[in-house]
Amino acid sequence: GAVVSQHPSWVICKSGTSVKIECRSLDFQATTMFWYRQFPKQSLMLMATSNEGSKATYEQGVEKDKFLINHASLTLSTLTVTSAHPEDSSFYICSARDKSGYGYTFGSGTRLTVV
């Protein structure tokens, strides 16, 4: 079945540094990638939607200059948390929609801890 590989699975970084999270669709082409943030014991909060080759659409309240999303190809999307602060610590998950439009495949998530 469809697989989305998300790396790293966890990362600890110092406040003020940037962190890049990668999501790769391994056996299908991802036309749309969704980036979510999940706080402990809560549901998923959509941060942004990106379509291959175009700028990402950010949800209200999400700083696009802080959370940089690049969807340069049909198999790779990246989320860069710039100048990270402790409040950015969270679980980040990507999800790819395949060309059928009916399938959503999730990455395994990235636990970001900013110290």
Partner 1 sequence: AQSVTQLDSQVPVFEEAPVELRCNYSSSVSVYLFWYVQYPNQGLQLLLKYLSGSTLVKGINGFEAEFNKSQTSFHLRKPSVHISDTAEYFCAVSAPMDSNYQLIWGAGTKLIIKP
Binding site for partner 1 (CB under 8 A): 4, 6, 32, 34, 41-44, 46, 49, 51, 57, 91, 93, 95, 97, 101-102, 104-109, 111
Q: How many CB atoms neighbour CB 115 within 10 A?
A: 9
Report which DSSP code applies to 60: T
Handedness of CA 46, 50, 55, 57 (dihedral sign): negative
| Strand pairing category for 57-58 and 32-38 | unpaired
Q: How far is the CB of 115 from partner 1 (least distance, A)?
A: 18
Q: Which is nearer to partner 1, 56 or 114 (CB)?
A: 56
Place of tokens 């991802």: 30
Q: How far is the CB of 94 from partner 1 (least distance, A)?
A: 8
Q: Which is nearer to partner 1, 43 or 60 (CB)?
A: 43
Q: Which is nearer to partner 1, 46 or 76 (CB)?
A: 46
